[in-house]
Structure 1
Amino acid sequence: MPRRPLVLTALAAAALIVGTVAPAAQASTSEPSTPVPITAPDGKIMSYVLNAKTANPGQMRLVERAVVAAGGVVVQSWPEIGVVVAHSVRSAFRADVVVAAGNALVSVGATRSVPVIEGTPAGAQAPWGPGSSGWKADAKKKFNGDIEAPTTPADSADARESEQWDMKMINADKAHAITDGSRNVLVGVLDSGIDPDHPDLVANIDVAASINCSDAGRPDASVDGWYPTTSDHGTHVAGTIAAARNGIGIVGVAPGVRVASVKVVNDDGFIYPEYAVCGFVWAGLKHMDVTNNSYYVDPFEYWCGDQVDQAAAKEAVRRAVEWSTSQGVVHAAAAGNSAVDLANKTVDTGSPDDGTAVARTLNEGCEDIPAELPGVVTVSSVIKAGALSYFSNRGLGKIDVAAPGSGILSTVVKDNGYGSKSGTSMASPHVAGVLALMKSVHPTWSPAQMIDKLREQAMSHACEPAQLNYGPVCVGTDTENSYYGTGIVDALAAVQ
């Protein structure tokens, strides 16, 4: 896939398998990170997030008026978190809106390094109209093929539950003897959409709770807006979480729960901050119980708090995660596929990934979001034998739990079939499914209680050598280390 959804492309996998050993990461630094200025040419539609001082109606109105006064248009307001998404074609917009808003505004930042390709949504139109920039996405950003086995059409397949080694590893098969999960539990799949008529998914999709957030970060409730278009990533993730027990295909970790398609990936494979903000707030508004987040927010693999634009966007996403958590939503997120020690990262050569990447020095305030945000369960990936997947990010104090992520069989769009994919994208939905089972049995538990129990109940896994000697070695103890966190997630313990 592109840089964002955390599944490996065949090309990337081949490069890692035959590549040289990565150098050991150095300690994080408190020195300033490398500046990455984002230019905003006059006449090109650029997207911004604005963070109000407080989330109250008066402050929001002041910020919205400031947007207009500075020559912008309000695309979406989120009064729950004090965030406004705006577009402008004026290069001076950022400076002018700060003056116009006064003390009502904490920060403003561009959300991408390139002009907006989707235009300004209808109903939030600027005088200059949507799509006027004429900028087109680089074709190379289209979704690439994942590491996968040939797909098998549902109508010619027998039940394939016996092939799901991953479910046995996390004791999901034993948990199912107690419960398949409750229909009262709703899991938001923040991803590229879910196949609406896949026979293993159709019964469990909550259409009313599904939404498209990739229309400039504004919730689009059109009938087919949340359908997959250029990727089956979200369909694969959804199958791992909640493929139905129906006698065909596979069985998900929590086959009795409902899933909502919250589309946060655009057709070129990007998940911009305003999309993620929309997804998290929507999850809170719909009182979802769990979300799965198998991506990092574009265009930066790591968002640095000492960079003005990056800090503003990072804060907007943080607010959205925090608010949805306060509404009872618990979040699982993929750790990433760069084989990086998240506790000791110092360089990034691939960001911004929507324009011209620059080599930049990172510091301790540069984070992968949402995986490194407070209150998010960060998941590393393991292989069938239990060792850490060679591609998986790691980090002492950064990884909460581990789950199967290499060669995972699940649902795909093609022929309404099944295919195998690898990535921390595939590990995270196992944890989301376990959280859904846990919520089914313990409906009154808060997100914090669920995370504590998930970590406590994980099956401890001692440090092992890195697969193929790729990436930083494991550090820590048998009970918590940089590869597995507190251990491999345990579905049976979650329902007992």
Structure 2
Amino acid sequence: LIMKERSGSLLKMTRMLESKWGFKVASSSDFVRETLDEIKIKSADALFYNELGIALLGADEEIIERLSTPGAEYLIEPEKVVYIPDDLAEEGEQDATWGIHITGAHQSPFTGWGVRVAIIDTGYDTTHPDFTGREITGHSFVPEETIEDLHGHGTHCLGIACGETDHNSTRYGIATAAQIYVAKVLNKQGSGAQAWVLDGMTGAVNNGCRVLSMSLGSPVFPGQAYDMAYERAAQYALSRGAVVVAAAGNDSRRSQNRYSPVSSPADCPSILAVGALDESLAVADFSNRAVNKGGEVDIAAPGVAIYSSWPMPTRYRILSGTSMATPHVAGIIALLWEKYPEATAAMITEKLRELAKTLPLPPEDIGAGLSFAPMKEQ
């Protein structure tokens, strides 16, 4: 369950859970790297996010009934499950540079140096040779799983955002010198609890990340409102100088005239939703669009036949999806933070929109346009 405060009483409520019903309560302050208490977090019955005014708890029917009182100063709703979008594997020889070139990253003098990027996904392959010597920290918020990527999706997204060059010295990543924080929130099957995602978002912000890349989500229906827990987490990130980007989702089938709404959490107002383009700069057949009010696509990036890292021994793989478009934008945001280190998160978001290349496509599909890297003179 997720409890959301209405009038500042949630901390008192969680303390009552602790004293009256014997709940073990942990705080999101435990996610700060220097004080991380893994045993306390994993054994907790309830987790209080003091930054967000939200508590997550496991409760039986008796406690749910007691909590669900009319006129309560908090809201209760079921926790959601999130997934990796249905990305498509591609065959054939890679054109490893098309995403790098079409976004201008290969011409940018910026590398993301001094900027910490969070990849909130399935973890990463700690043995991958392309990341040897990089400054990488992180934590698994998935119970009983280490940071190791047992799926592959996180390693692929990490490579797009922050990878350098492959074994043939061909560049395939955007922010090649960025610091990296990996938050594992999806298990080896590619799914995860909403609590794990909120853990990863809060942990990334509390550990100094300036951009959070989330290639994950769950479908929403036409007319469905955005999730307030994710929105509060994104607002907290913005208040701490971090921009959040998320995949718009792969539920559309445009060739069949089927257009699906931007998925959750990308549909939140404080999260930038990223759509996917192919090499001809057409909207990818699967890319979701703005259907629900407030759930806009904010920007677009390369998302078809994208070459990047994959867990060993495969080493590299080509995938398509808004999952691949999202880390392109995250990497470009890291370049912007390097260029404008004194900016606010809102200013970086505005710069991202200003630099986007306009395309002859509907804004409900691509938002501001093709995400483009900053240059020296801009």
TM score, norm. by length of structure 2: 0.82
Give the counterpart of 1:147 among 89, 97, 102. Answer: 89
Name the residue aligned to 2:140.
212
The alignment partner of 1:482 has SS state of helix
1:144 shift after superposition: 8.5
- One-letter identity of the residue aligned with 1:252: G
- One-letter identity of the residue aligned with 2:3: L
Name the residue aligned to 1:296.
217
1:275 shift after superposition: 1.4
User: Does the Cα contact within 8 Å between 1:264 and 1:279 map onto a contact in 2?
Assistant: yes
Name the residue aligned to 1:202.
132
Name the residue aligned to 1:181.
112
Name the residue aligned to 1:20.
none
1:149 shift after superposition: 3.6
Change (3 A) 1:442 1:191: same
Trace 1:232-381 onto structure 2 (pairs within 5 A).
232-245=152-165, 248=169, 250-297=171-218, 301-302=220-221, 314-339=227-252, 368-381=263-276
Change (3 A) 1:242 1:142: closer
The alignment partner of 1:436 has SS state of helix
Change (3 A) 1:212 1:96: same
Change (3 A) 1:493 1:144: closer
Cα shift readout 1:410-458 (whole Å, capped 9, x = no counterpart): 0000316111000000001100000000001111111111111111111
Name the residue aligned to 2:3.
50
In the alignment, structure 1 residue 107 sits paired with structure 2 residue 75: yes
Change (3 A) 1:270 1:302: farther
- One-letter identity of the residue aligned with 1:283: A
In the alignment, structure 1 residue 385 sits paired with structure 2 residue 280: yes
Cα shift readout 1:66-123 (whole Å, capped 9, x = no counterpart): 47646865332221212222112x2233221244x975x411122158xxxxxxxxxx
Change (3 A) 1:386 1:146: closer
Name the residue aligned to 1:413.
311
Change (3 A) 1:434 1:495: farther
- One-letter identity of the residue aligned with 1:420: I
Number of paired residues? 350
Structure 2, unmatched stretches of 5+, are 25-44
User: Does the Cα contact within 8 Å between 2:128 and 2:312 map onto a contact in 1?
Assistant: no
Cα shift readout 1:118-169 (whole Å, capped 9, x = no counterpart): xxxxxxxxxxxxxxxxxxxxxxx99999413479xxxxxxxx8x73111111
Change (3 A) 1:371 1:340: farther
Distance in 2, matches of 1:112 and 1:180, equals: 36
Distance in 1, matches of 2:125 and 2:106, equals: 25
Q: Which moved more, 1:58-67 or 1:397-406?
A: 58-67
In the alignment, structure 1 residue 63 sits paired with structure 2 residue 34: no
- One-letter identity of the residue aligned with 2:89: I
Q: Which moved more, 1:59-68 or 1:315-324?
A: 59-68
Change (3 A) 1:305 1:92: farther
Name the residue aligned to 2:325.
427
Trace 1:426-445 onto structure 2 (pairs within 5 A).
426-445=324-343
Change (3 A) 1:77 1:495: farther
TM score, norm. by length of structure 1: 0.64
Name the residue aligned to 1:129.
none
- One-letter identity of the residue aligned with 1:435: I
Cα shift readout 1:286-329 (whole Å, capped 9, x = no counterpart): 121001111114xx5459868xxxx8xx2222211111221111
User: Does the Cα contact within 8 Å between 1:189 and 1:291 map onto a contact in 2?
Assistant: yes
Q: Which moved more, 1:163-172 or 1:417-426?
A: 163-172
Distance in 1, matches of 2:61 and 2:222, equals: 23
Structure 1, unmatched stretches of 5+, are 1-47, 114-140, 152-159, 348-365, 464-474, 476-480
What's the C-alpha RMSD, in Å, of the aligned pairs? 3.2
